[in-house]
Every structure is written in structure tokens, then in C-alpha cells.
């Protein structure tokens, strides 16, 4: 840093950032919890909505043609632009933040799950039919388990994007959270604090990703071994 | 036992035209008969199998089992595919029990039967293993055990040894004959291999392609139990030569 003569107020030394982090540990922890809460709620909403959506999409070509355009529409809207509108519509509370997080995160999960449900070998479906299995049983016993490795690759993408979504939402409207901390600290030129928040955010992303990976490994070892 | 009465089957192609897979096929199979279906690609042998399985419906004519028309999958047929298609997340035992579970007949009796079948196909010690830990041949053995777990009278096999190496293939061919003598069933066996068909079958149905129809039915007069040593037998040569000339015309017999 000294070598390139970058002023400390633009890119503070790691030691300065670390000192800032330690000094404000309690406050940063509070913001981290707030962001984690938004991320978790948005991520859970993604799972709860994406799985049935993927099942619906793969149930028939008609359903796929009906639902896909709407999905693509939700993805083509810039979330940063949508966030302030959602705040007006839903109020300055947690709800618009969760909705934005969900909108950023859910799409890859739907795509991955749908791809997984459709990747079942035709012969396995025939075997199910030969056993006179109902469509529900076919879904529960064959299609969904078969999709598990795909679902988890979608979940890994979604959990990382949830962090992005939560921060975007906090930029627009929040009184807590790491995104809010970055906006306020840079406004007061406390660059070291902003860097500290950024580092905590990336650690948060890595930790959440690893949690998903561990869950896959523990619950579905045959799936984790594949990817 | 199985009757195929003037059955035709046409599929709608992507461009809207109709592709005739089978045209006016009439056959009858006896109880506990071993029948092989042989023919070049596109002759509709797999379609014929799926018609008997009730997985596809005939466009014309009808398929009957014990006199009753087949209008959907039945509990008294078991099916083996070219690839073992085992469930990767389930143990070998659970894979064998899969049809019983799907049919809601997973009784302690079925579990006992599954263990006995695994013993029969030589996989007794692999019951708790997962499919990826087994070789292709072992996976296909599990596939055969799976097809037998609900005690079907009819076993439908769609090129079951087609994806295996030549040695494993011979081994499993003999093993299938052993299983069949242990548990007599009506077997319909689709294959590309003429020697395999002659060695296994009581009768070989030879199909010709586009549209698929029966070229002839060759009766194999070889004694049982059979072995690969019989390939030198006159009757073996006669049957194989006959099938070959039905498929290739005079080209093969001249050579």
C-alpha cells in the first residue's frame, strides 16, 4: 500500500481494518445477525416456492410454457430499481428486503430443480409405470430423489445470491444490517469500517455455502459424492 | 398364455407424420416358454415388449394375457432394461424391493423373497451396498432380481445384456437359464445377438424392419440344459443360419 502510495482513506491497511473490526465487534455482530436473518428468510422462501414451482413446470409442456415467461420476467427486472417501489408498496419493514432477497436467489434453484426432475432416465419412469405407481408416488419415490444432486447445486447458487439480494435490499431500505452499515459508514467516510463490513459479508457467504455443502454431505452422501 | 392378435402400432413423428413400428403382428406364447425376439434396429421388438408390458397401447388389434386384454401395466409382469437403472440412493436390497414398495406389497414375505433372489443371482453379500459400488454385470443381476421380486409370471427383458462385455454376457446368459429352470416363467427376451437367442430360446421370433412384422418364427430343437458347447451342434448351426438368412437375405448364406 505504501509502495503504491494509495492514501489510507481510500484503501486502509489490513491492520487498520482489523483494529476497526475488533473495536466495533459488538456493533458489527448486531448488523451481521440482522443481515443473516434477512438472508435466511429469503433463502427459505426461495426453497419453499422454488421446489413446487419446479414440479409444476416439469409436470407438462403447457405448464412450462405458462410459467417460464413470468419467471424470466422476474429476472429481467433490475432488483435495485424494484426495491424502492417495493418499500413504498409493502412499507419500510423487513418484508420488502426478504422479497428482494427471494427474487435474487430463487431463479437458479427453480432451473436446477426442474433440470433434475427431467434428468430421470426414461426407463426408471417406465419401471414406475410398470409397477402401476401413481404420479405422486413417482414424484416422491423416483423424480425428487433423483433431482437431489441438482437441487443442491441450485441451493449452493441460491444461498450465495441470497447474501447479494439481502445487501441490495439493505442499501435501499434498512436501519440495520451489513449493507446498511456500508452505506452509512461510507457516507461518513469511515472507509475502514465499510471494509470490515465487506469482509464479514464475504465470510458470511462462504459460511452459508459450506453449511449447504455439509447438509448435502450428511443427509445425501450419494449425492455429494457425485458432484 | 400371451396372445398378440393382429397388432399394429404407429407413433406420431415430430413432423406430424405417422411412423409404423409394428404392422399386423400375430403371435402366441405358451406358459413358461422362453421366446427371443430378434431383428435389426427399428423392427419394433422393444415396442412389442412394451405392448405386452402394457406401457404402450396398440393402434390396432389387441394383446391378451390369460385371455384378458392388456389395457395397462399388470402386476404379473416383471421388466428388465438394457441399463440396470438402479436407484443410486438406495441399497441393493432396497432396489430389489422397489417394485414391491411401489405396488404397496412390501411385506416381510417380500423382504424374505428379495434376500432369496439376491442369493439366487449371487449378490447375497452385497444386499447393503449401493449400486455405484457394483460392477455393470452385478448391477444387471440386481436388475433381474428386482424384476422377479413380486413373483411375476411373465418376465420381459429388453436387451438386458446389451451393455455388458462379452464375458460377463456369456456368464449372465447361463445364469438366466439357471434362474429360469429354478423359477419357470414365460420370458420374452429382446436381443441383437443371434447366438444368444438360439442358446436361450424355445422359439425365436425374427422381425423385419420398416414396418416391423414377423419374418418367421424359428423353433430351436436343442435339448436342455443348454451350454455354450452346443454352438457346435448341427441344430444350433441350422437355427442360427436360418435366422441370419431371414435378417440379411441371401447375402449371409452365400458368404
Confidence band for A227, pLDDT divided at 50, 70 and 90: very low
Cβ contact (<8 Å) for A129 and B73? yes
Average pLDDT, stretch B173-182?
89
Q: What is the pLDDT of residue B248?
A: 86
Backbone angles phi, psi at B129, to 5 degrees: -80, 170
List, by residue range, all CATH 3.40.50.300 domains of chain B. Answer: 2-76+154-254
| Residue linked to cell 435495485 | A80
How far is CA B188 from each of CA A221, B17, B79, B154, B170, rounded to the nearest angstrom? 38, 30, 10, 8, 18
Question: What's residue B251's pLDDT?
Answer: 59
Residue B55 touches chain A, beta carbons under 8 Å: yes
What is the arrangement of strands in the sheet containing B203-208, beginning at the earlier edge strand? B77-80, B154-158, B186-191, B34-38, B203-208, B213-219
> B188 forms bridges with which residues in the sheet?
B35, B156
Interface check for A137 against chain B (CB to CB < 8 A): the answer is yes
Q: How many angstroms separate the CA of residue A151 from the nearest CA in chain B?
A: 15
Q: Residue B86 gets which letter from DSSP?
A: -
Considering the domain B2-76+154-254 in this protein, what is its CATH number?
3.40.50.300
Q: How many CA atoms lie within 13 A of B221 on its CB side?
A: 6
Best mutation target among B74, B77, B88 (most A Cβ atoms within 10 Å) is B88
Question: B87 vs A223: CB contact, 8 Å cut-off?
Answer: no
Query: What is the C-alpha to C-alpha distance for residues A56 and B129, in angstroms, rounded to an integer?
Result: 34
B94-149 pLDDT, tens per residue? 999 998 888 887 888 888 889 988 988 888 889 889 998 898 889 988 998 999 88
Cα separation, A160 vs B234, in Å, equals 71
Cβ neighbours, 10 Å, residue B189: 27
* Residue B255 banded pLDDT, cuts 50, 70, 90: very low
Which residues, 6 or more positions from B162, have their beta carbon under 8 angstroms from its beta carbon?
B82, B191, B192
Read off the pLDDT of residues B16-45 as tens digits, 9 standing for 90 and up. Answer: 788 888 888 889 898 899 999 998 887 888
List of residues 6+ apart from A20 with CB closer than 8 A? A12, A190, A192, A193, A195, A196
How confident is the model at residue A223, as a pLDDT?
Answer: 75
Contacts of B98 in chain A (CB under 8 A): 127, 131, 141
Q: Does A6 touch chain B (CB under 8 A)?
A: no
Give φ, ψ of A215 to 5 degrees.
-60, -45
Contact list in A for residue B79 (CB cut-off 8 A) is 126-127, 130
Average pLDDT over residues B62-80: 87
B204 Cα to chain A: minimum distance (Å) = 25
Are A222 and B55 in contact (CB < 8 Å)? no
Lowest-confidence segment of A152-156, A187-191, B232-236, B248-252 by average pLDDT: B248-252
Contact A121 B83 (CB under 8 A): yes
State whether residue B151 sits within 8 Å of chain A by CB: no
Residue A4 has pLDDT above 80, yes or no: no
pLDDT score of A225: 61
Model pLDDT, residue A41: 96
Smallest Cα distance from B89 to chain A, Å: 6
Please check whether residue A121 touches B, CB under 8 A: yes
Share of chain B above pLDDT 70, in %: 98
CB contact under 8 Å between A121 and B89, yes or no, is no
State the count of interchain CB pairs (< 8 A) between A and B.
Answer: 57
Asked if the Cβ–Cβ distance from A132 to B98 is below 8 Å, we say: no
- What is the predicted pLDDT for the residue at B11? 85
Q: How confident is the model at residue A109 (pLDDT cuts 50, 70, 90)?
A: very high
User: What's the pLDDT band for B168 if we cut at 50, 70, 90?
Assistant: confident
**Lowest-pLDDT range of A2-16, B31-45, B64-78:** A2-16
Residue of A147, A48, A171, A56 lying closest to A106 (CA atoms): A48
Pairwise CB contact (< 8 Å): B89 & A145: yes
Residue to substitute from B70, B86, B89, interface A, most A β-carbons within 10 A? B89
Tell me if chain A has a CB within 8 Å of the CB of B54: yes
Contact between A114 and A57 (Cβ < 8 Å): yes
Q: What percent of chain A has pLDDT over 90?
A: 58
pLDDT for res B23 = 87
The reply to whether A227 touches chain B by the CB within 8 Å rule is no
Q: Is CATH 3.80.30.20 the classification given to domain A14-219?
A: no
Write the ipTM: 0.80
- CA B103 to chain A, closest CA, distance in angstroms equals 6
- From chain B, the residues in CB contact with A133 under 8 A are 102-103
Minimal Cα–Cα distance from B125 to chain A, Å?
20
| Minimum mean pLDDT range among A5-19, A28-42, B101-115 | A5-19
In the predicted model, what is the mean pLDDT of residues A10-38?
90
> Which residues of chain A neighbour B85 with C-beta distances below 8 Å?
121, 123-124, 127
CB contact under 8 A, A131 and B99: yes
Coil, strand or helix at B43 = coil
Helix, strand, coil content of chain B in percent (nearest 5): 40, 25, 35
Residue A23 DSSP code:
H
Residues of A in contact with B72 (CB under 8 A): 132
Query: Does A125 touch chain B if contact means CB atoms closer than 8 Å?
Result: no
Amino acid at each position: 500500500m505504501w509502495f503504491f502510495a494509495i492514501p489510507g482513506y481510500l484503501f486502509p491497511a489490513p491492520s487498520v481494518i482489523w483494529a476497526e473490526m475488533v473495536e466495533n465487534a459488538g456493533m458489527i455482530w448486531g448488523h451481521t445477525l440482522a443481515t443473516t436473518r434477512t438472508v435466511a428468510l429469503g433463502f427459505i422462501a426461495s426453497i419453499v416456492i422454488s421446489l413446487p414451482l419446479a414440479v409444476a413446470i416439469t409436470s407438462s409442456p403447457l405448464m412450462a410454457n405458462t410459467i417460464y415467461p413470468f419467471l424470466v420476467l422476474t429476472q429481467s427486472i433490475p432488483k435495485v430499481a424494484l426495491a424502492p417501489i417495493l418499500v413504498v408498496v409493502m412499507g419500510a419493514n423487513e418484508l420488502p428486503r426478504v422479497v428482494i432477497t427471494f427474487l435474487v436467489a430463487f431463479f437458479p434453484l427453480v432451473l436446477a430443480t426442474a433440470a433434475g426432475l427431467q434428468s430421470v432416465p426414461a426407463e426408471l419412469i417406465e419401471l414406475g409405470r410398470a409397477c402401476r405407481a401413481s404420479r405422486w408416488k413417482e414424484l416422491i419415490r423416483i423424480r425428487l430423489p433423483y433431482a437431489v444432486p441438482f437441487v443442491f447445486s441450485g441451493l449452493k447458487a441460491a444461498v450465495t445470491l441470497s447474501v447479494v439480494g439481502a445487501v441490495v435490499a439493505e442499501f435501499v431500505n434498512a436501519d440495520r444490517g451489513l449493507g446498511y452499515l456500508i452505506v452509512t459508514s461510507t457516507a461518513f467516510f469511515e472507509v475502514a469500517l465499510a471494509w470490515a463490513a465487506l469482509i464479514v459479508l464475504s465470510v458470511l457467504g462462504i459460511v452459508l455455502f459450506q453449511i449447504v455443502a455439509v447438509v448435502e454431505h450428511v443427509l445425501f452422501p450419494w449425492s455429494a459424492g457425485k458432484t | 398364455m400371451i396372445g398378440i392378435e393382429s397388432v399394429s402400432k404407429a407413433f406420431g413423428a415430430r413432423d406430424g407424420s405417422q411412423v409404423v413400428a409394428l404392422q399386423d403382428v400375430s403371435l402366441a406364447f405358451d406358459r413358461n416358454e422362453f421366446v427371443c425376439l430378434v431383428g435389426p434396429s427399428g423392427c419394433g421388438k422393444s415396442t412389442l415388449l412394451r405392448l405386452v408390458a402394457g406401457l404402450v397401447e396398440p393402434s390396432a388389434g389387441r394383446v391378451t394375457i390369460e385371455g384378458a386384454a392388456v389395457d395397462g401395466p399388470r402386476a404379473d409382469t416383471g421388466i428388465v432394461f438394457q441399463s440396470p437403472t438402479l436407484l443410486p440412493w438406495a441399497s441393493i436390497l432396497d432396489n430389489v424391493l422397489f417394485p414391491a414398495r411401489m405396488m404397496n406389497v412390501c411385506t416381510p414375505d417380500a423382504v424374505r423373497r428379495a434376500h432369496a433372489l439376491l442369493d439366487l443371482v449371487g449378490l447375497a453379500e452385497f444386499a447393503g451396498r449401493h449400486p455405484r459400488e457394483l460392477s455393470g454385470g452385478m448391477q444387471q443381476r440386481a436388475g433381474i432380481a428386482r424384476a422377479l421380486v413380486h413373483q411375476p409370471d411373465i418376465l420381459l427383458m429388453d436387451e438386458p445384456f446389451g451393455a455388458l462385455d462379452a464375458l460377463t454376457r456369456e456368464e449372465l446368459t447361463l445364469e438366466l437359464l439357471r434362474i429360469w429352470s429354478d423359477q419357470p416363467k414365460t420370458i420374452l427376451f429382446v436381443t441383437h445377438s443371434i447366438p444368444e437367442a438360439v442358446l436361450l430360446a424355445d422359439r425365436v421370433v425374427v422381425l423385419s424392419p420398416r414396418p416391423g412384422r414377423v419374418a418367421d418364427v424359428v423353433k430351436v430343437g436343442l435339448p436342455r440344459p443348454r451350454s455354450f458347447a452346443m454352438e457346435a451342434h448341427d441344430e444350433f448351426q441350422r437355427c442360427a443360419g436360418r435366422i441370419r438368412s431371414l435378417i440379411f437375405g441371401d447375402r449371409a448364406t452365400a458368404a
